Amino acid sequence: MEVMKSAPIITKVFTQKDEIKLLKSMIRYKSEKSRDATSDLADFTDFVKPLSFPASKTQVGGKIQRLRTKFRNNFKREKHGKKPIGYFNKHQCQLYGLSKKIWATLVQVDSDDEEGVGNDN
């Protein structure tokens, strides 16, 4: 008899408070150190502590990347007149507002570049 292996259970490591703290810390880090939090993840990871768990710089970097991707997708939706996905609860609205302060100008530049690609009419 063959035993089936179940897929590993993925648990959420960062709490909602951690996500908010991470974004607020990114804003504060930029203000205090005049550089982006991702320019030195080891320093930023120490700067943002304590979180609800002992986060590594890899975990912090991955979370920042996922939050940025989520923001970029929703920013583009909003730009095209659609409501951002999932931004109907207080936490998601807070994440979106903080993310906008951090990445809106970068995403705007990315969007402008994409619009020019393939439009040779």
Separation between Cα atoms, residue 82 and residue 76, nearest integer Å: 9
Separation between Cα atoms, residue 56 and residue 60, nearest integer Å: 6
**The one-letter amino acid at 73:** N
Residue 76 lies inside a defined structural domain of this protein: yes
Residue 8 lies inside a defined structural domain of this protein: no
Cβ contact 22:57 at 8 Å: no
- Report the number of distinct structural domains present in the chain: 1
Mean pLDDT by 10 residues, the chain (121 residues): 67 91 96 94 94 94 95 87 74 92 77 44 35
pLDDT the model gives residue 76: 87
Domain extent at residue 86 = 16-111
Residue 93 lies inside a defined structural domain of this protein: yes
Residue 38 lies inside a defined structural domain of this protein: yes
Residue 10 lies inside a defined structural domain of this protein: no
Residue 7 lies inside a defined structural domain of this protein: no
Residue 6 lies inside a defined structural domain of this protein: no
Residue 46 lies inside a defined structural domain of this protein: yes
Model pTM score: 0.78
Separation between Cα atoms, residue 37 and residue 103, nearest integer Å: 12
